[in-house]
Structure 1
Amino acid sequence: MDNASAVTVFTLSGLNGTEEYRIPLFVVTFLCYSLIWVANVTIIVTIIMDKNLHEPMYIFLCNLCINGLVGTAGFYPKFLIDLLSSAHVISFAGCLVQAFVIHVAVGIDLSILLLMSFDRYVAICRPLVYHSVITRQRVGLLVLFAWLLPVIMMMIGSTTTFILKLCGSHIPKLYCINYLVNKLACTASVAGFMVPVFTYSIYVGHYLFIVGSYFNLIRTCRQSKENMSKFMQTCLPHLFCLGILGVSLLFDLLYIRFGSNTLPQGIQNFMAIEFLVVPPIMNPVIYGLALTQVRNRIAQVFGVKQDQGSYKFFKKK
């Protein structure tokens, strides 16, 4: 049986018509990628080095930042090389790896945001049972689940893509995703349709669970000024990050499914890479500024005057 190995190289058309802007784009992209690394590494190192931050919420935040570096590593290095090259191609294996890394990173982001919303729900709505529900062992298992579930699901998706017989090699995007590779198949595949539908269903479920938990949080917090203060300190930045990721993914998903080639290439590219630019930068910035203990620790490292207040409502009194 023939498989996709008959196609060894894909062409990427996202940079067509941008020859005169290559150097400025390279500089801006390099600075953006550098900022992503600085912001995320600062949060990761701060949490790892400070034992006072070895709490579930910060552990989840640390994993969110690590995943931000993993996901962007699947896009930026190749994109920077393409900006300096006249040929925008990627090998079949490289395409599958890139698609795998990007898809997995998105799945992990949603899984970790789900865990963070669950942690905040228990801390604020069920504070008396917090330490019996959110134990260190359970946190470890939940984090492992958040990383393994997307990896396993994408391994299945990549396998169904690999066995396809392809009749084309042109990808109208800056990077590879399984959906566009599947569209190059000579014949439609049931697995190629069912696996993405199942995957989307899982993560739509994640998103709905998060939204539901926040409805309960808001309803509970309205009854108490203390709880509302807790909500503003820890849940508001989480909602911002969730909203940013949701809008970014919605842009890309709507364009992939319903996009028009009549849109200017620049708008197409913006819609395609927004979730690889905005969330990896905004997540550490929002949390670094909003969470008092993280902000104080970073300020201490850089010799800046610290805030005196700090919330520890999730600790035992």
Structure 2
Amino acid sequence: MPLDWDKLRIFQTVAEAGSFTTAGSLLNSSQSAISRQIKALEEAMNVSLFTRHARGLVLTQEGQQLFQTTQEMTQKIDETQRDLAESKGRPFGTLRVTTMVTFGAVWLTNHIRGFLEQYPEIDIQLILDDRDLDLSAGEADVAIRLHEIQQTDLIQRPLASFHSHIYASPEYLDRNGMPSTPEEIDHHDIIAFGNTVREPLNRLNYTLTLGKTGKPRAPRMQINNLYGILNAVEQGVGIAALPDYLTHNRKNLVRVLEDQTEDLTFPSYFCYPPELRGSKRLAVFRDYLIQQIRAEQNIL
């Protein structure tokens, strides 16, 4: 016998609320009516979904499995409703975007205002995390990543190629001079990433090997965060390689060895699960990002 969706909806509300009383208030129903619906669902499934606890209801193992399923079902239904509504008009709804902390905090937040003004019906939830959130599990709708994805069940689209250069502050160069060759970096204080930084950003440590044929240089300071490195360079601590998306419009930075270093380029990707393939919110957001990146790179 197929399960009654109304009972599943009531079960999910009870699981989230932790009590029949609270669930009844949310569903505009009595505690006894909610309790009867849960009992009928347990009898239909021949399992116990809750255990009584002094602080409320606690899900059993079977209840936890069912709760995870109902959450996924609700998410799919909500997304389908939004997609159907979007197909008849302008895109709207909440778009949950995840990206690495520095890119999101420095670049994305500086460019998002125009998108929100252009699409007032779309709300953005920005989730900044250097870990790769699981889009298939619903942790976010879309990810902007600076490396190729490993999840084969996700759609990956190229977004842009970012460039990097070596920078120092004017105050640091006044004290230590401007290096004229890569070999002269030997006489400068280098700020590098710590060993915990993964690909591709750890390739920005090329300041340790540029112009060297033997043992790499030892950094004067190591930081495992791009924004921390940027601040240290601006404060005159030393020199470092930084991506241009981070240095754009920063007034206290000077390019070092501008004509004598190779431009380190790394791609970025716009990733999302297949069920959002037709989402207008995703499409207009990606188009907006590409427009902003191209405009900025033309200036650079």
User: Shared fold by TM > 0.5?
Assistant: no
More strand by percentage = 2
The structure with the larger Rg is 2
In the superposition, the TM-score normalised over structure 1's length comes to 0.20
In the superposition, the TM-score normalised over structure 2's length comes to 0.20
